A = this chain, B = another copy of it.
Amino acid sequence: MSDIKTRENAVVTVEDEVRQGIELLFYAYRDFTAEPDAMLARYNFGRAHHRVIYFVGRHPQMSVSELLGILRITKQSLARVLGQLIRQGFITQNANRADRRQRLLSLTTQGIELERQLSENQRQRIQRAFEEAGPQAVEGFRRVMTNVISGETDRVRFRRGRR
């Protein structure tokens, strides 16, 4: 009744599909983060440093509160990681001239290089996954993943043709 029949005539229940979806997220995320984590360990950094470097690289001149809004962690949690990255010369801060309370964050040359190294493996992994699956599958992936995201604010980041 609510079963799905595949080409091979196997029967997959909705529960099975959903359970597999949950597990796909676990396994994919586990493998997606494994290699950058190993590289970060050599700098005595963790995954949190990668996330900060990634998003600052993606949105140069972003404010601390914007970054907090994306990461969904407390400012105290961010402070330690961000402080290390600033002290070690991967990120710079400069006051927003329009609102001098804000500290705008950007990657230094060194930060750009680290970001590139860290994310290269992930970029290759995703690009290969996309190529092997084909454009139609990529569109399906995008639709499903966007629906998994909670808020409209974040979903709009992934409307087609957006950058």
Which residues of A approach B to under 8 Å, CB–CB? 4, 6-8, 10-12, 14, 16-32, 34, 51, 54, 58, 72, 119, 122-123, 125-130, 132-151, 154, 157-158, 160-161, 163
Residues of B within 8 A of A34 (CB): 72, 150
User: What CA separation (Å) do A148 and B122 show in the bound complex?
Assistant: 9
- The answer to whether A22 and B144 have CB atoms under 8 Å apart is no
- The answer to whether A160 and B6 have CB atoms under 8 Å apart is yes
Residues of B within 8 A of A127 (CB): 14, 18
Residues of B within 8 A of A150 (CB): 31, 34
Q: Given known contacts A8-B161, A21-B129, what 12 new A-B pairs fall within 8 Å (CB)?
A: A16-B163, A18-B127, A21-B142, A22-B123, A25-B126, A27-B157, A31-B150, A125-B148, A138-B140, A140-B141, A140-B144, A141-B143
A11 to B, closest residue via Cβ = B161
- The answer to whether B147 and A144 have CB atoms under 8 Å apart is no
Residues of B within 8 A of A4 (CB): 135
Residues of B within 8 A of A31 (CB): 148-151, 154
